[in-house]
Each structure stands twice: as C-alpha cells, then as structure tokens.
Amino acid sequence: MESMMIYMPIAMAILGLIYMWIKKSWVLKQDAGDGKMKEISDYIYEGALAFLSAEYKLLAIFVVIVSVALAAVSFIVPTTHILIVVAFIFGAVFSAFAGNIGMRIATKTNVRTTQAAKTSLPNALKVSFGGGTVMGLGVAGLAVLGLTIFFIIFYNYFMGGAEGVFSVDKMTIVLETLAGFSLGAESIALFARVGGGIYTKAADVGADLVGKVEAGIPEDDPRNPATIADNVGDNVGDVAGMGADLFGSYVATVLAAMVLGNYVIKDMGGSISDAFGGIGPILLPMSIAGIGIIISIIGTMLVKIKSNEAKESQVMAALNLGNWVSIGLVAIACYVLCKWMLPETMQMEFFGEGLQEISSMRVFYATLVGLVVGAVISSVTEYYTGLGKPPILKIVQQSSTGAGTNIIAGLATGMISTFPSVLLFAGAIWTSYAFAGFYGVALAASAMMATTAMQLAIDAFGPISDNAGGIAEMSEQEPIVRERTDILDAVGNTTAATGKGFAIASAALTSLALFAAYVTFTGIDGINIFKAPVLAMLFVGGMIPVVFSALAMNAVGKAAMEMVEEVRRQFREIPGIMEGTGKPEYDKCVAISTEASLKEMMLPGLLTIGFPLIIAFVPMIFGMDNLAIAEMLGGYMAGVTVSGVLWAIFQNNAGGAWDNAKKSFEAGVVINGEMTYKGSEAHKAAVTGDTVGDPFKDTSGPSMNILIKLTCLIGLVIAPILGGHNADESLSDKQEIKKEVRLEIKENNSETAIATIITTTTINGKTTNYIEEVEGTIKEIEKKANEAGNVVSVNIVKKENKIEAAIK
Amino acid sequence: MESMMIYMPIAMAILGLIYMWIKKSWVLKQDAGDGKMKEISDYIYEGALAFLSAEYKLLAIFVVIVSVALAAVSFIVPTTHILIVVAFIFGAVFSAFAGNIGMRIATKTNVRTTQAAKTSLPNALKVSFGGGTVMGLGVAGLAVLGLTIFFIIFYNYFMGGAEGVFSVDKMTIVLETLAGFSLGAESIALFARVGGGIYTKAADVGADLVGKVEAGIPEDDPRNPATIADNVGDNVGDVAGMGADLFGSYVATVLAAMVLGNYVIKDMGGSISDAFGGIGPILLPMSIAGIGIIISIIGTMLVKIKSNEAKESQVMAALNLGNWVSIGLVAIACYVLCKWMLPETMQMEFFGEGLQEISSMRVFYATLVGLVVGAVISSVTEYYTGLGKPPILKIVQQSSTGAGTNIIAGLATGMISTFPSVLLFAGAIWTSYAFAGFYGVALAASAMMATTAMQLAIDAFGPISDNAGGIAEMSEQEPIVRERTDILDAVGNTTAATGKGFAIASAALTSLALFAAYVTFTGIDGINIFKAPVLAMLFVGGMIPVVFSALAMNAVGKAAMEMVEEVRRQFREIPGIMEGTGKPEYDKCVAISTEASLKEMMLPGLLTIGFPLIIAFVPMIFGMDNLAIAEMLGGYMAGVTVSGVLWAIFQNNAGGAWDNAKKSFEAGVVINGEMTYKGSEAHKAAVTGDTVGDPFKDTSGPSMNILIKLTCLIGLVIAPILGGHNADESLSDKQEIKKEVRLEIKENNSETAIATIITTTTINGKTTNYIEEVEGTIKEIEKKANEAGNVVSVNIVKKENKIEAAIK
C-alpha cells in the first residue's frame, strides 16, 4: 500500500475530475429558460470565449518566447534540464484549461440559475453552487493531476523511480525541473488576473458612467451597449482570474513543500528508509492535496438549504457548514498522514541553531497553524468589509460630509486592517517555523490550500449568481426571481471578500515557502540585509507592488475611457436605442474591453517578470559574484513579498469596505439621527468611494497575490543558474573542503580521548567551520569522523575527504 | 590647529546663532503695520504659543517618564551610563527650544511681511526669507552646538579627552551616551510633527467645511471663528513640525556617522595616529555640519530679487541660486575636510568581503552621492507635484469625470512616484556603500544635511508668506498686497513639496546609517531574514507605517469634526457674527485644535515607541537569546524603514499632486477643449481630491520621517542592552576564541614554511573561522600569528589568545 502512495494523488485528482464531469452534466441538463434568457446568456458566453481566445493567442506567443529562453538557459547551464520547457508549457496549458473549464461552466450556469430561481431559492443555490463546484474541482483536480504526473515522470527519468537509488541532489534536479510547471501556471495566472481585473472594471465603469449616470437607465439594462461586457467581466475577472490565481497558489505551495521535504531528507543524512521509497516527506504535501480534493467534494455536498423563505444568513450558514466540515476533515487527514508518512522524528537544520530533532507531531501542529490562519483571516476580512460592522458604519457616517471624508475613512479602514492581518501572518510564520522549520511553513500553506476546491466553489457561485441576476433583469423576469438571485449575490459579495483574504493568506505563505526553497536551492547562507546591495534590493522590491498597483489602476482608467467613448457613440449613432427599438452593438463593447485589457496588462506583466531578471543578469554581466547576486535577488523577493502582502490587504479591504458602505444605503442607514437612502448626497459620496474602490479590490489588490508568487517562482527557477552554476564552475578554484580531526587528551584516561572534528568549507574565500566533539578510542573517533560527512550542510560536492588524526 | 578642530563646530554654531540673533533683531525692527494687522498677528502669535505651552506640559511628563525608564535601565545594564538621561533631557529641551525660536520668529515675521508687501515685492521677500533664515540657523545652530558640547563633555569624562588614551570601546560608550541627545530630539520631533500635522489639518478642514462651504465666506475671512486656528496651524505644522523634524535628522545623521567613524578606527586596528587626537573619522561629520552652517549663511545672503515686477519664476530663481551655491560650497568643503581629516587610506570591514583599503577620496565621493541625491529628489518631487507638469495635467483631465477618477489619478500618481525615488535611494545606498561602506552612507547623509539651515530657511518662508497673505485678507489691505504675498506663497508651495522630498531623503539615509550603527553596536553578524522570527518582524515592521498613517488620518478626521461643531455653534449662537458686528471666539477654536491634536497624537506615538520595546523585551522575559532578539529588532527596523519611505513618498506626492491639480483651476485649465475654471464640476472634483490629500501631505506623510528615524534610534539606544549585556554575561560560558597556527611545509625550502593561521570564534554554539596564510620562517610566522588578533572582527573581548605552533 505504502509504495503505491505516489499514485494516490493522481487517483484522487481523477476521482475529483470524474465528480466534476458528473456535476457538469447535471448542471448542463438543467433548463436554460426561455429564448430571451438564452440569447443573453449566449452573448455572455460568446463574449467570455472571445476574451479567452484573444488572450490565449497572446499567451501562446508569451509561452513560446519564455520556452525558447528556458531552452537556451538549459543548454548553457548544466544544472538546468531541457525538460523544464516541457513542464513549463504543460503548466501553462493546464492552467489555461482550468480557467477555460471554469469560464465555460460559469457562463452556462448563470442562465440556469435564473431559471431555477423561478421555481425556488434552494434550487437556485443548488444550480449556482453546482457550477461553482465544477469550477473548484476542475482547478484542484487539474492542479494535482498535472503536478503529480510530471513529478512521477521526472522521478523515474532522473532517478529511476522507487527502484532507483535516492539522492538528494538528483531529487533537487527533479524538483527544479518540476518548478517549470509551476512557473507556467503562475505566468498564465498573472495575465488572467491582471487582464481579467482590467477587463471587468473597464466594462463596469464604462457601463455605469454612461448608462447609469448619463443616460439614467438602471444597472443591467439591455439598452446599455456595455451591459454584456459588464457581465462578461464578472466571469473573466472573478471566475477565470480567481481560478488561475488559486491554481497557481495550489501548485506552487505543493511544489515548495516538496522542495523543503527534500532538504529534510538531506538534513537527515541524505537518505531515510521508510515505506514510501524513502521520499515520505516529499510525498506528504502531494498526499494532503489529493485527500483535500475528496474532502472538498464532501464539503460541497453539505451546502444546501431547504426553506424557500431563507435569507442571506441561512445561505451563509449552509456555506459555512460545508467549509468548516472540510477544514475539520483536513485537520484529521493531516494528523493521519503526518503520523503515517513521516519518520517519527526528523532532523532539521534551523538556521543559526544547528540540527534539531523534530517529531512528526510537530509537523502536524504546523499544518494546524495553516488551517487556523485560513479561518481567522476570513473573519478579519469579514470584520473590516462586512455589512453592519463598525468600520463600514463609520465610513457610512463619514459619507455625510462628502466624498472626501468618505474616501479618507475607506483608505484608513484598509490601512488599519493590515494590523491584525500582518500580526496573524507574522505569528503563523513564527509558530509554524518553530514547530517544523520552513518545511512547517510550507506544510501550513499546503494544509490551508487543501480545501482549495471548496473555497473556489464558494467563490465562484457569487459571480454566477450576480450574472443570473443580470440575466433576470435583462430578460425582464418577475421581481421574485431577481430577489432570489439578489440573496445569493449578497452572500456572494461576502464570500468574494473573504475569498480574497484566503487568496492573499495562501499567497503569503506560498511565497515564504518558495523563498525558503530559493535560499536552500542557491546554497547561500541566508539573506543578510546588512549588506548594502541586499538592502537596496529590499527597497526596490518593496516599491514594485506599489508601482504595479498604480499601473493596474491607470490601465483601468484608460480602458474605461475607451469604453465610455464607445457607449456614448452608440447612444448617439444607433437610432431608437433608448426606446428599445434599436439594438445595441454588444460585441463592439466586448471587443473594446478585450483589446484594452490585453494591451494594458503588458506593462505590469513586464515589470513583474523583467525586474527579477534584470537583478539577476545585469550584475552577472558585470562580473558580480553569483552568490552575492543570489542574496540580492533574495532581498528583492522579500521586499516584494512584504510590501505586496501589505498592499494586497490594504487595497482589497479598502475596496470591499467602500463597496459595502455604498450598499448599506440600499436598506437605509441612520446618519445624524436621520434615515438616509439611495439618492441622498451621502449616498452619492459613497458611490464615489466605491468608484475608487473598484480597481482596488478587483484589479490591483488581487493582482498582488500573483505578483509576489510569480516573483518568488522566477527566483526559484533562476536559482540553479545562480547557485548551481557557481558550485559547478568554481569547484576547482574557489571551493575547498577540509576535514580534520584534532585530538586533545582532555581526560587522561589512557584508553579514550576527546576529539574535535572540524569540517571547514571555504567557498569563494568565505569560510564556515563545523565543530563536533566526540569521545572514544582513536578507532572509534576515526569512525565517527568518517561518518561526520553530513554535518556539512552547504549544498556542495565534496572533493577532498581526507582525514588526518594525530595526538599532540 | 588640528587639535583645536574639536571646538570648530561649536565656534561655527555660535557664529550661526549670533548671525541668527542679528537677523532676528533686524526682522523685529521692521514695521509691524497698523492696529488691525497687529491685532490679528497677536492672535496668531498667542494661539501658537498656547499650543506650544500646552504641548510642552505634555512633553514634560513624557520626558520625565522616559528619563526614569532610562535611569532604571542604566542601573541594571552596566554598559549604559546614567549620563544618557542628562543627554536625553537636553536633547528634548534643545529641540523644543529650536521649535520655539522658529515659531516665535515666524509669527512675528508674518505681519511684517504683509507690511513690507505694501511697499514692494523685494522687501516682502527680504522680510519673509529673513524670518526663515532665523528659523533655519536656530535649528542648525542649536543642533550642532548641543551635539558637540555633549560630545566633548562625554569624551573628556569617559576617556580623558585628547590627552587620554583612545579606545574604541570607551568611544562606543561616549557615543552610546550621546545617542540619548538624539533620542530626546527625535521624541520631541515625533510629537511636534504628528501633533502639528493634526492641528493644522483639523483647523484647515474645520475652517473650510463650515466657513467656505456652509457659510459661503472666503478663505481667511475674519468672520470665520476658525481662521486664526487655521493660520496658527500653518506655523504649528509647517514651521515647528518641519523644524523639529530636520533638527532630529540633523542630530541623528551626525551621530550615526560618528558611530560608524569609530568603527572605521576599530577596523584599522583599534587606533590611528592623526593630528586630530586619533579621532579624525569621528570629528569629520561634526566638522561638515559646522562648516555647513557658515555655508548656509552665505547661501541665504544670495537670496534676493531686485524687480518689483518679479514673478514666481524669478523668486524661485533667487532661492535656487542660494541653494545651488551652498550645495556647491559644501562639495568643496567636503573635499577639503575629507583630504585633511581622514587618513589617506583606511581599512574598512565590508560584510562578507573582509577588510578593504579605502582612500579618503572615496569617502569624498560618498559625500557627493549624498549631495546629488538631495538635489535630484527635489526634481523628482517637483516633477510629480509641480503645476503644469504632466502628472498634474492628467489629474486635472481626470477631474472632468468626477471625484472618483480624480482620486484614482492622484493615488496612482503618488504610487508611481515611488519608482524613481526608490531607485534613486537604492542607487545611493549601493554607491555610497561601495565607495566607503556604511561610513560612506552616513557621510552621504551628513553632506546632504549640511545645508539644513538653508533648506529650512527656504521651507519656512513659505508658511510665513501664507500667513502674511492671510493677515492681508483679514485686515482688508489693498489687493496688490495680497497679490505680492500670493507670489511668495505660490513659490512657498513648491518649496514645501520639494522640502518634503529633502526631508524624506534625509530620513531614509539617516535611518540606514542608524541601522548600520545598530548592527555594529549589538555585535550581531548581520540581519538574516532567512530566519523566520526575523522575517516575521520584517512583516510587522512593514505594517507599522501603514497603521500609523491610518491613525494619523483618523485623528485629523476626529479633530476636524470637533472643530466643525464649534464653528457651527459660534455661527448659530453669536449674534451678528456674519454681519461682522459680532466678534468670533477665536480662542475657543484654537483651544479645540490644541486639545484635540495633543490627545490624538498619543496613539500613534505609543505605537512608534511601544512596538520596538515590546519586540525587545517580551522575548527577553521568555528567555530568548539576546543576539536573536537583536536580529529580530533589526528586521523590524528594516521593515519600518522600507515601508515608511514608500508610504512617505506615496502620501507626500499624492497630496502635493492633488493640491496643485486643484490650484490649476485658479488660472483655468483646458479640459476636452474647453477652458474650465473654479466653480466648475471638475473643480469640485479636484477640491474633493485635495481634501483627501491634505492629511496625506501634511499629517501622515511627513510623520513617516520621524517614525522611521525614531524607530531606528530606539533600536540604537536599546542596542547595548541586547548586545553589550550579552557579551558581558555570556562571556564565560557561551563564548570561546581559539587561535591556532597549523604549519604545512608546502614548499620544501628548508628555511621558510607556509602556515595557515586559523582564528576560531564560537559564540553561543555558532562558529566562525578566519583563515590567513602566511609565509616565512617559524619565528616570523609566530610573530605574524601574534599580530593576527585583529582579523577577528566580532565585537568581543578575547579570553584566550594562546598560540600553538607545530610541524607535522
């Protein structure tokens, strides 16, 4: 059984995909409503596919360019294998495919949800959440499937699989090559998130500014030429963007945990003997991911309501039930898997503290940290962005004195919200590290991500319901239909905010795990910010998320302006459009959003990918030492991560808070003792706040996740060039290992002596010394000195291993 | 002459203060105008003094509490001397005194500027700039005087002055004690900046919201009860706040450079022989500061215009002339002083690269880096916030579609502006470090700060002119008077923005120098962010500026609301107030601003001071290793600095950009082909942007400087507790130094041998090894091994220094 564990994640992934297929067939079998509804739904479907195919064309070019670059690198750098190109391409294709599945099912489910809402609310939830489930399982299933298949292929290719002889160095090559898969996935995620984010907000702002404000027609009115683009945007941004984001996180987390698992084996002397072919610590994160798929299926089955009179709170409770049960089951699964798959105690190298004995239970505690963080961050997000919560009420009050004070209050709310969030992350880093080193940090992230399928199902049902409401409006259904979809939409808005919290928490932990994997890969002895170039790069890294956000916001502004012009033109030139007799040219608006978003995502993308490459290769051209470059790049990565997490929390929560402050006016709010509603001056101020918040929460804020993950992944892929290249080239002239045994008879015991074994490693003139004191006869000491090889924890090949013994 | 150099800075400071006194007498001799003008001026003067005395009462309590705490620490920790309390108190008193001088002269100069503007523009500039000069020289003179006097006192007390025997360790105690002076100065600066920032914006918003918007009366109308508070605010925030900020920077920069100068001497073997009592590298930064005062006086003398018809550009040119000449003179002075006071070549320890030979010319190049950064950052700031520049024009255009798009454009501008600024800082860190290590970084900051008196004169004349315009308005002068003061005010707005750029650049470099001094003080071997607790603290540190900014912004909101209520009450209750027959109760508004700002500055202050203390002492209670804590605190400091610099640039520039976008409408702007003026919808949107920008640029943004400097200073003051305490206590049980000479006859030359000298240092189980290869006879090798003591660069006392030689 144990030896088959390597195939377990594949089996689970396939099970998940089969369940997805069944669920998909069920959703598609549902009634898609009358002709008008189908027509609108088809417009959205086609618009979404038009965006996807335009995006894919562009991404294909990108994938080709990067593949060529990676291939070139693999020819120049001996430690990088050409197979990384294959992994990269498949990572990109799998990610795109996952997004495609999500988008297709979402745009098919929306109209069916509208139709189901005609009969009852429980049915509407069943259909919309069914669509979300398909999306969630598609993403998680493909992620686990792809990663596991490529791992097995590379494991067999480079090492001969379970029959081969395990070697940490060979496994490092396996995982380095596998990093290509993650890089491919994350690259697609970048463009999906940023492009989608620009698309959705450009269409939204364009539709609102001309439709609602200038022409005075309601939201989702079919006379508005941008209304289809607006609904497409919900799918492009919230469904495909979020899906690609979590697909990337999922793959990167598991990969990073596997890399660190390999280093656990290294710290334990280079090999362990367990029932899992000696790679238990590497298989564990994959196994948690595999089990997580099945647990997510169980979780989604629990999400249902019975009463047709249910309100938001009951729908929310149903989602929470499914969510909590799946988190609980993951905790149990982690306990079982940690106990079963890990050695009872492991040795792990703690930086500056030497080797420590870590029990498998402590690894389990680390996974609990991840589960707690995932749960708590949702509550924190909920507090700062939820309807009726103090921060929102405060923003509402500040709206009474105008847009200026509303904006200040919203900004302050987003900024303050970094306080508990960052303390939570800092605590998580510290405790999971204290439990089980960076392997613990990576497994905390893995455990948190195990319920990704469930999280995505909860996330995706929101925009589906939003779309369903739009279709109800456009096809002029009975008000009860819109009321029911509105209940789902309102819950969806809350889950969207908490989902962003989950996404940023996962991105933060994933980046740290990648960061740790990077440091270990390169073989540098840490990132010392007391070195000025490293400190300078910490500054530069910190600046990148800020500039990236600005670029994304400006991109929304530009794209929205183009949309505004087009909508104005149609209102002006198409006769009878306002009377409902002339037909708006929806496709032109869809085309504008598509083109503008793809064009505008270039610059932020270039910034993300270009900067780490410049930092790595420009100093290399000037002959800077590779390890010094590696440390600088590490400083850059840390800067991007810290600043990116801060700006993500700030922007997501400020945006969410403004949104719900505006929504508060729909039910009416008490300001200075008076009930105030939509249309009041205070409401107008709140609408202004929401305009500012839109790009914050839907474009620049969520893009931060990808920015930090992709930055760390690029670092990881470059790592062998910096570290491996160096080790290889400078072996003969710059690196030297000496081992010597110096004996001093401290206790004059005639038979035994106390000896000090010193292992000295000199790399590029920098010397590290490991000292071990042993007691015994000369023979015994010589034996121990021979065994002491594994005290050298730097990632190098030993050239000289001569032992000298002498008694002074 | 050389031996007297230690007194040179005192002489220069006294010369500066004498010139200040002459200039002050001249200003006070100018005509203060008619009765109405005097009355208004007196109101402002009294309001400002009321704020100062209320603030001083509060600060006195704070100083007492901190003094008691410092005294307690000095009794417990043997490496901290009780004299630090004296230094702290004097630092606080000097800083407060400098602020007092500035505030008094500014509130006396304003009315005299109004009066002078009745005669001509050149006269008005002469008077207002004269007031600024008094302020600048007061701040710089007191800073240099205080720092130098205390240095000489401690130098004589701890080391017997120039006659005593120089010892790096004793000088460390001198400088550690001197750090108290800097801590005192910076603590006062925190409250002056934050309290002043809250005061000025609360009064401004209160006056505008009720006066301009609700009652429809113009700015500075005497019927507005908050108008005096508004004018007081300009002095409290822009004059006293900025003065205290730069006083703090000035002192901290020079101190940090002295600390690093001491370590240069250490790297050179513990002593040097030069004509300056062996402390040339320590005296150099003080000497640059001293000469800088005289150069600033020359610079201020050049600021004058001749034509009464001059426009903004001519006034600006006059200021630029003075500024550029003084920067040029500082460059020359730095060349001479570096050549004269430093050894021709020095050894400096570069982290991870060992000792390097650094010529005095390279130190001079580092000072040039500082001068260039100071100049370039002003241009960058000018580009992003200047009237008529592309970013401003873009915000103006975006105002046409409402407040939402105006806000987004302003935010994006502030965010984008971090790009060149951070690259500039990163480049400065890197190059100045490459030239002369962290000593170079500190001297870059020192050179930049040398013209502080000139910078402050340029800065302070702005709010003085602003006040002068207000007095002209309130006392109903001829329009020409207001026109002339408006020209000065417009130039003042530009210099205010560039001054903020200068302040943040100086704060950034100062913090880095303090950071470097901290690391060296504690004796840790760098800040390794690959250790999870350090990384966690980097996150926490990064969060602090964000939360601090939010608290400051909320504080402005709360204080402004109280002001709004009071102004409304007065309009309601005082009969005839709108007709000009009833007299508004100005003092009540002043009192409200004063109380509210002092109350609201508590929480941000607590955050700033409390967090580093928690990080240092809570883990200590739990028995964590002191050096590990020191490294964590270093991570925290780096996080605060990186994030603080980013948020300072973002907030200052966004605020400045919104302000000038609004101002653009005064002269009219072309939007979509139409001239648009004040009162248009677009202008209203721009006013909303300015409302958001006000607390950004005048409260939270400028406070970042103090936050980062104070954080690093607190770290520096705690350093001996963490580092010194540890070295002291653990010497016997945890630390071990071994030196051994291993000889291998590599070349069989019968007479000579090649030997390897290995110095092994083990601190808390962590081993570092220094290897040196020497060639010679056994005698010679033994001699060299004996001399090799200084290759151990960690800050520890050697216990065992036995050398063994043997030939295998």
Interface test with chain B among A415, A540, A694, by most B beta carbons within 10 Å:
A415
Which of the two residues, B783 and B178, has the higher pLDDT score? B178
The pLDDT value given to residue B747? 44
Residues of A in contact with B354 (CB under 8 A): 765
The pLDDT value given to residue B793? 25
Contact A419 B543 (CB under 8 A): yes
pLDDT tens readout for residues A208-225: 878 877 778 887 788 888
Residue B365 Cα, gap to closest chain A Cα (Å)? 17
Mean pLDDT of A544-552: 96
| pLDDT at A530 > cutoff 80 | yes
What token pair was written down for B149? Answer: 């006097």
The pLDDT value given to residue A782? 58
B768 confidence band (pLDDT: 50, 70, 90): low
Contacts of B69 (CB under 8 A, 6+ apart): none
The pLDDT value given to residue B183? 94
The pLDDT value given to residue B736? 47
| pLDDT at B236 > cutoff 50 | yes
Interface test with chain B among A539, A625, A758, A759, by most B beta carbons within 10 Å:
A539
The pLDDT value given to residue B152? 94
Mean pLDDT of B447-461: 92
Contact A354 B765 (CB under 8 A): yes
pLDDT tens readout for residues B618-656: 998 888 888 889 999 999 999 999 999 999 999 999 999
Interface test with chain B among A395, A684, A769, by most B beta carbons within 10 Å:
A769
Which of the two residues, B799 and B152, has the higher pLDDT score? B152
Taking CA–CA distances from B760, the nearest residue in chain A reads A769
The helix or strand, by DSSP H or E, that contains position A134, with its residue range, turns out to be helix A121-159
Question: CB burial class (10 A; 0-12, 13-18, 19+) of residue A468?
Answer: buried
Of A634, A643, A688, the CB nearest to B542: A643
Contact B519 A528 (CB under 8 A): no
Pairing mode, if any, of strands B766-776 and B753-763? antiparallel
End-to-end CA distance of chain A: give it in Å, rounded.
56
The pLDDT value given to residue A420? 96
- A608-638 burial, b at 16+ Cβ within 10 Å, e below that, comes to bbebbeebbeebeeeeebbbbbbbbbbbbbb
Of B543, B689, B690, the CB nearest to A418: B543
A294 confidence band (pLDDT: 50, 70, 90): very high
| pLDDT at B758 > cutoff 70 | no
Residue-averaged pLDDT of chain B = 85
pLDDT tens readout for residues A751-766: 565 555 555 554 444 4
What token pair was written down for A201? Answer: 């907000």
d(CA A129, CA A495): 12
The pLDDT value given to residue B260? 92
pLDDT more than 70, % of chain A = 89
Mean pLDDT of B440-456: 93
B759 confidence band (pLDDT: 50, 70, 90): low
The pLDDT value given to residue A296? 96
The pLDDT value given to residue B108? 92
Question: CB burial class (10 A; 0-12, 13-18, 19+) of residue B57?
Answer: exposed
Residue A609 Cα, gap to closest chain B Cα (Å)? 16
What are residue A766's DSSP bridge partners? A763
Type of residue numbered A289? A
- Concatenated DSSP letters of A474-541: HTT--HHHHHHHHHHHHHHHHHHHHHHHHHHHHHHHHHHHHHHHHHHHHT-S--BTTSHHHHHHHHHH
pLDDT tens readout for residues A645-669: 999 999 999 999 999 899 889 888 8
d(CA A352, CA B627): 11
The pLDDT value given to residue A634? 94
Which of the two residues, B774 and B448, has the higher pLDDT score? B448
CA Rg value for chain B? 28
Contact A537 B642 (CB under 8 A): no
Taking CA–CA distances from A394, the nearest residue in chain B reads B554
B739 confidence band (pLDDT: 50, 70, 90): very low
Phi, psi torsion values for B752, nearest 5 degrees: -110, 155
pLDDT tens readout for residues B51-74: 888 888 888 999 999 999 899 888
pLDDT tens readout for residues B530-564: 889 999 999 999 999 999 999 999 998 888 888 88
d(CA A633, CA B339): 36
| pLDDT at B76 > cutoff 70 | yes
| pLDDT at B745 > cutoff 50 | no
Taking CA–CA distances from A646, the nearest residue in chain B reads B543
Q: Are B775 and A772 in contact (CB under 8 A)?
A: no
What are residue A773's DSSP bridge partners? A756
What token pair was written down for A224? Answer: 């508005």
Lowest mean pLDDT among A686-695, B231-240, B442-451: B231-240
B409 confidence band (pLDDT: 50, 70, 90): very high
pLDDT tens readout for residues A726-739: 333 333 333 444 44
Which of the two residues, B426 and A386, has the higher pLDDT score? B426
Which of the two residues, B205 and A362, has the higher pLDDT score? A362
Contacts of A416 (CB under 8 A, 6+ apart): A384, A391, B547, B550, B551, B554
| pLDDT at A800 > cutoff 80 | no
Helix (H, G, I), strand (E, B) or coil at A132: helix
The pLDDT value given to residue A757? 58
Nearest to A343 by CA among A417, A267, A408, A292: A267
d(CA B466, CA B470): 6
d(CA A237, CA A202): 11
The pLDDT value given to residue B3? 76
Contact A531 B351 (CB under 8 A): yes
Nearest to B253 by CA among B374, B96, B423: B374
Nearest to B742 by CA among A806, A344, A257: A806
What angle (nearest 5°) sits at the alpha carbon of residue A702, between those of residues A699 and A703?
A: 75
The number of angstroms, rounded, from the C-alpha of A353 to the middle of its chain's C-alpha atoms is 31
Residues of B in contact with A543 (CB under 8 A): 418-419, 422-423, 646
The pLDDT value given to residue A764? 42
Residues of A in contact with B737 (CB under 8 A): none
Type of residue numbered A343? P
Type of residue numbered A651? Q
How many A/B residue pairs have CB atoms within 8 Å? 249
Contact A531 B645 (CB under 8 A): no
Which of the two residues, B345 and B352, has the higher pLDDT score? B345
Question: CB burial class (10 A; 0-12, 13-18, 19+) of residue B802?
Answer: exposed
Residues of B in contact with A806 (CB under 8 A): 808
Contact A415 B354 (CB under 8 A): no
d(CA B155, CA B161): 5
Widest distance between CA atoms in chain A: 110
**CA distances, B232 to each of A690, B208, B419, B462, B474 (Å):** 35, 15, 35, 14, 14
Nearest to A462 by CA among A441, A437, A428, A491: A491
The pLDDT value given to residue B774? 65
Type of residue numbered A563? M
d(CA B331, CA B321): 15
| pLDDT at B115 > cutoff 90 | yes
Taking CA–CA distances from A533, the nearest residue in chain B reads B430
d(CA B790, CA A97): 63
Residue B455 Cα, gap to closest chain A Cα (Å)? 26
Residue-averaged pLDDT of chain A = 85
| pLDDT at A19 > cutoff 90 | yes
Q: How many helices (H) and strands (E) in chain B?
A: 24, 8
Interface test with chain B among A209, A406, A530, A741, by most B beta carbons within 10 Å:
A530
Helix (H, G, I), strand (E, B) or coil at A276: coil
Taking CA–CA distances from B214, the nearest residue in chain A reads A401
Pairing mode, if any, of strands B805-807 and B735-744? parallel
Q: Are A764 and A730 in contact (CB under 8 A)?
A: yes
Taking CA–CA distances from B411, the nearest residue in chain A reads A550
Q: What is the ipTM of this complex?
A: 0.86
pLDDT tens readout for residues A60-102: 999 999 999 899 888 887 777 899 999 999 999 999 999 889 9
